[in-house]
Amino acid sequence: MAVSYFYATGAYQTWTVPNDWNPTNNKIECYGAGGDGAAYSGRSGGGGNYASISNFNLTPGSNVSIFVGTVDVYVNTIFSSTTTLMATGAALAGSVGTTILPGGASGGTDTAGAGPLGGAGGAAGVSSTNTVYH
């Protein structure tokens, strides 16, 4: 199974579905951007939310838009559209996918801390990724 990774660029990226795309054996994962750390407190931001979808039917040779969230631009990571697969930034609701795990809150709040993915996240500005296993 091949793997494609996408990182934050501040703009939409285009991914061309490979000719050997198998609609019954694939997984697409999105990680939202981590939260901002609290100013002058030494606290890190919470980890972004996680969303995935498996066995997704795509047409080989077609183009898919991907946006990888970052704290400084737009915190949500999107595959195709916000109604197909989306992982929101730390402490935000609204992720879309078949599997969704919440991240931690931004540093310096009463609810700051780790989500179920482990760890409280990195310092402000840490970007997320979008991973396609095919």
pLDDT tens sequence across 8-61: 888 899 999 999 999 999 999 988 887 766 655 566 667 788 889 999 999 999
Nearest to 50 by CA among 7, 109, 92, 18: 92
**Is pTM beyond 0.85 here?**
no
Q: Quote the domain boundaries for residue 35.
A: 1-134
Position 47 scores a pLDDT of 76
pLDDT greater than 70 at residue 130 = no
Q: By the 8 A CB rule, do 128 and 34 touch?
A: yes
Q: What is the number of structural domains in the chain?
A: 1
Position 123 scores a pLDDT of 39
